[in-house]
Amino acid sequence: MKISFLKILVFVLSTASLYAQVDNRAVAKIGSVEISVEEFRNRYEFMPHLNFSNNNPETLRIEFLYSLIAEKLWALAAAEYGVDTFETVRYSLQALEKLFVKDELFKKEVESKIHLTSEEISKGLNKAARTLYINFITSVDSVEIHNLYSLLKEGADFDSILKTRKEYQIQQKSDEIELGRFEDEIIEDAVFSLSLNEFTQPVKSKDQWFIFKLKDDRVNQAIKTDSDHALNFVLRTLSERKRKIIAGNFLDKVIGGKVISADKKIFDKLSESLHKILKEKVGSIEQESKQKNPLTETDIMKLLKVMDKSALDYSFIHLDENPATLKEFLYYLIYQPRRDAFVKNDFTSANKNHVRFILNSAVKQFIEDEVIVRKGYEMGIDKIPSVKNDLEIWKNYYLSEALMQRYADSVKVSDNDMREFLQKKYYMNGLVSQVNIVEILTDNLDEIKIILDELQQGIDFNDLAVKFNKREITKRSNGEWGFFPANSAGEIGRIAAQMNIGEVYGPIKVPEGFSIFKLIDKREIELSNTDTLLINPQMIRIQLALSKMNELINDKTVELANKYKIEFTETLLKEMELSEVNTFTYRLIGFGGKISAFPLTIPMFEWYQKYKQIKKLP
């Protein structure tokens, strides 16, 4: 039975939610490395545990554990081979460390300072029980708003004045106000203290002045002040308001008054290179469109290749005595997206001015985050155990992926391999099971996350294949493979044969990166020798490469298990209380941003059967 990605729940949690309980007992040991109950639980519950041999909870757990063990084995080997010195790994981990430092700094300087008094909670509950209906008069001119207030004090009719002003057009109905609607507590207090038909003194919010009038005051039927729901709502609302105030004050202290600039020549070169990449990706679309084109890890890797090496290592952002390079900025874009309109680095056109505007916004955000992070390093936040633990989990993942990709890249299919494969699989008569799939092949997990999100939103799989599939041979067919024997193509063929038509599966590791595919048809046909004339040699090469890679990775994992020694506690695994709901969880980052709560665990459990046979384990 296969599970469609459409059944995955997507959650966004704060760091505190991710680490509510800690259990450091070791469920497995791999050389000197341990997988704690806590890590297993987090990886299992907060990220999808799909694509295993069946849906039985016990089987899922043990195969998930085998996959985590495989990750740790490859990470140990990668560290021994010096993979952590590879530029992509080094800069990726540096960018992630900065992210964790920023988040921990937020907890220390903001979260720990949020305190609510019993008086504040009581006042909040009273407000929560009411729904107010108001109208307002507004102006950016202080003199005008105070003159209007004087007229009102002298007896002028509020509604008559309002009808003569442009803001009346958006107030055909009175504005509904509940607790938390206003960011400014002073304004909220002023409005909630009004009696029916009273109006406030002029109050300022950002760059505008307001006079509010209370038109109606009703009981909020959704709130029962003595309920846990009401209390939690008030605590959450008041805490969020204080969080914004404390964070704002901290940022003013750290960033306020600093004048930091970017190198214009490098910015111009970067903008030009990015413009060319976007034109290749979205075409020469000069006008703004509703179609959003996210800047992905693949795009940024292209930028790293096309930009001059001297420009990449040159001082891009002038920060004190230690400037930030262009290379640091580009890796930042992969892991630390902007918090507002730039959340996914979305481009709606290839217009040069649009590209420069979005890029300029990203540079400003990078400068702010870099100043925050440097404050964190200055305070020694990078030495805190939680930061080290977070980084270690991601480091193991990146090291294992980098080394496995090296092995995958080594897979070659010779003409002799092709002849032997065809003779074995095709030069035969008889009934053959065939499947047809639509595949999305991508070489980075950044796009996997986007695909998961869009599937969750109901976007058609075929549309996503057109947009994201990078397999050159199937681009013209929009990701469709055509019928092929289910006993070929390694894991893809084996899995597709067990799926129901319409189901989606993935991601799985393939030589070119990661594959997600949808079964669109299956059949059994009588195959004769003459049918081999219709075979597409390029597709056969792909299928054979998939089979060879699967065998290579499994054999190497067995070799590593023998080298580093493994042991695990199956009884502890069975005793764990775990949610079996598939979730894809994002982790909110303090001072803005989000990432995957934990690395995706790519299924790699078949190696254990071979390992067990060699070790003669029960």
Spatial distance between the Cα atoms of 535 and 481, rounded to a whole number of angstroms: 12
Residue 341's pLDDT is 36
Query: How many other β-carbons are positioned within 10 Å of the β-carbon of residue 119?
Result: 8
Q: For the chain, what is the mean pLDDT?
A: 84
Round to whole Å and give the CA distance between 441 and 476. 14
pLDDT at 6 over 50: no
- Name the least confident of 69-83, 380-394, 600-614: 600-614
Q: Mean pLDDT throughout 226-247? A: 93
- % of the chain exceeding 90 in pLDDT: 48
Pairing of strands 9-13, 583-588: parallel
529: pLDDT confidence band, cut at 50, 70 and 90?
A: very low
pLDDT at 245: 93
Q: Flag whether pLDDT at 617 surpasses 50.
A: yes
* Residue range 130-222, CATH number: 3.10.50.40
Digit-coded pLDDT (tens) for 295-353:
777 788 889 999 888 889 889 998 877 899 999 999 998 876 544 433 445 666 667 88
Confidence tier at 451 by pLDDT (50, 70, 90): confident
Global pTM reads 0.80
Highest mean pLDDT among 172-186, 369-383, 486-500, 522-536: 369-383
Query: For 587, phi and psi rounded to 5 degrees?
Result: -105, 120
Q: How confident is the model at residue 51 (pLDDT cuts 50, 70, 90)?
A: low
If pLDDT is split at 50, 70 and 90, which confidence band does 268 have? Answer: very high
DSSP string, 266-280: HHHHHHHHHHHHHHH
Q: Give SS3 for 344.
A: coil
What is the average pLDDT across 440-465? 82
Dist CA 341 CA 187 (whole Å): 27
Which CATH number is 427-534's, of 3.40.50.280, 3.90.1520.10, 3.30.390.50, 3.10.50.40?
Answer: 3.10.50.40
Instruction: Please give the order of strands across the beta sheet that includes 430-442.
Output: 484-485, 430-442, 513-527, 504-510
**Residue 509 φ/ψ, nearest 5 degrees:** -80, 130
pLDDT in tens, 168-219: 999 989 999 999 999 889 999 999 999 999 999 999 988 899 999 999 999 9
Average pLDDT score over residue span 525-533: 54
Whats the size of the chain, residue-wise? 618
Each domain of the chain, given as residue ranges in start order, spans 130-222, 427-534
Give residues with Cβ within 8 angstroms of 531, minimum separation 6: 426
Name the residue with higher pLDDT: 451 or 27: 27
Instruction: Tell me which of 13-22, 83-92, 249-258, 340-349 is least confident.
Output: 340-349
- 130-222 and 427-534: identical CATH topology: yes
Which residues, in sequence order, are bridge partners of residue 212? 136
CA 532 to CA 537: how far, in whole Å? 10
pLDDT of residue 252: 93
Among 55-69, 278-292, 435-449, 573-587, the range scoring the smallest mean pLDDT is 278-292
Whole-number pLDDT of residue 599: 87
Whether the pLDDT of residue 565 is over 70: the answer is yes
Q: Which of 493, 607, 492, 515 is nearest to 561 (CA)?
A: 607
Quick one: pLDDT band at residue 427, thresholds 50, 70, 90? very low
Say which residue the tokens 């029980």 belong to.
129
